[in-house]
Amino acid sequence: MEPFPPHLNAVFEVLSMSTSETDYRWLGIDVSKDSLDVYDPSQAVSTRYANTSEGVDALWQTLQSRSDWAVVCEASGGYETLVATTLAAHGCRMSVVNPRQVRDFAKASGILAKTDALDARVIARFGRLLQPPATVFASEAAQQLQDWVRRRQQLVEMLSGEKNRLQQLKGRNKAVLKDEVEAHIEWLKDRIQQLDEKIEQLSQQQSQWREDKALLTSVKGIGPVVSTTLLADLPELGQLNRKQIAALVGLAPFNRDSGRYQGKRTTWGGRATVRSALYMATLVAVHHNPPLRTFYQHLLDQGKEKKVALIACARKLLTCLNAMLKFRTPWQDELVTARYTPA
């Protein structure tokens, strides 16, 4: 491995001195499609492994002699799944972090260069300094449910795209192509219906899922699709407080103030699939769910824009769902009305 430039070594030395000793040995992994660059601070070396089952097994062979590893890698569009789940199954403390956090950490440290080996070293330092929480990985059954729910979402996106294409095919000379698109639309509808049946069967296989789904669907506006999306993509529901769950989904408003400037509070980030599902559920709930309808109308009467009011209602709905699963209580209009109806 080529030595790092002197100014980068100086930065790393300062970062090392600025943190207290922990019980873990922090290991940084930079993940790409074909390779894993692993940096071990205790040896000050970076090693490359193939991002395959054989490569991950070879990595584990070098780690299994000790039990105090804390491994950090970035979320990389699924390329990190193999190494993360394998090491976690072997008992390593595994943290999968947002790559934007690591990049901002590098910039704040004055590290502007970017190579795989350097990134692995930055990730290791990021873990040592900030000590991100260990990632909780879903069970095999939960991962299977996630895969099928995401596949359904992909087909729904394809169906929406084909419907848009059909609207553009209005000329006589496009009749053949129009028939092709219509046939594809029908196939997609049939396939989505089949996936709905399969997802329903999977969600009924475990008693915990059956109970959670019964609680979720007791809410007017939450149907089978939204409830299974929450089960698959938001396993933390019912385990966090209301502020944490709202921030995780991306429904927590953040201030944008500086000096005399007071910007509008905005929501961003979070889990897009969950946020989208909740938004669609909220569109139904503000018309058919009495407490949320009252809250929505109250916001409109205060002069809030419709979309702002809908986002606020989506957050209220999320916090209610979170409390329902935490305390194992079905939806009750009178309790929610007492909590959210303005005086």
- The contacts of residue 92 (CB under 8 Å, 6+ apart) are 63, 69, 70, 71
> Does the pLDDT of residue 144 top 60, yes or no?
yes
With bands split at pLDDT 50, 70 and 90, how would you rate the model's confidence at 67?
confident
Please count the other Cβ atoms lying within 10 Å of the Cβ belonging to residue 41: 17
> Does the pLDDT of residue 297 top 60, yes or no?
yes
pLDDT of amino acid 268:
64
What is the tens place of the pLDDT at every residue in 245-271?
A: 999 999 987 776 677 767 666 666 788
With bands split at pLDDT 50, 70 and 90, how would you rate the model's confidence at 21?
very low
pLDDT of amino acid 260:
73
With bands split at pLDDT 50, 70 and 90, how would you rate the model's confidence at 209?
very high
Q: Is the Cβ–Cβ distance between 48 and 120 less than 8 Å?
A: no
Which structure tokens are listed for 130?
């900030």
Q: Where exactly are the structural domains of the chain?
A: 6-130, 140-205, 220-343
DSSP structural state of residue 342? -
Average pLDDT over residues 207-227: 94
pLDDT of amino acid 339:
57
Q: Degrees (nearest 5) of the Cα angle 283, 287, 292?
A: 85
pLDDT of amino acid 18:
44
CATH 3.30.420 fits domain 6-130? yes
Look-up of token digits 């490359």: 48
Q: Is 147 helix (H, G, I), strand (E, B) or coil?
A: helix
In sequence order, what are the beta bridge partners of 48?
Answer: 37
Average pLDDT over residues 110-138: 91
Which structure tokens are listed for 184?
């594809």
Average pLDDT over residues 199-204: 92
> Does the pLDDT of residue 103 top 60, yes or no?
yes
Average pLDDT over residues 144-172: 90
Q: What is the Cα Rg of the chain in Å?
A: 24
Please count the other Cβ atoms lying within 10 Å of the Cβ belonging to residue 176: 8
Average pLDDT over residues 4-21: 50
**Prediction pTM value:** 0.77
d(CA 160, CA 185): 9
> Strand ranges (DSSP E) for 41-162?
45-50, 69-74, 93-97
Average pLDDT, the chain: 87
Least confident of 141-155, 191-205, 260-274: 260-274
Least confident of 176-185, 197-206, 247-256, 334-343: 334-343
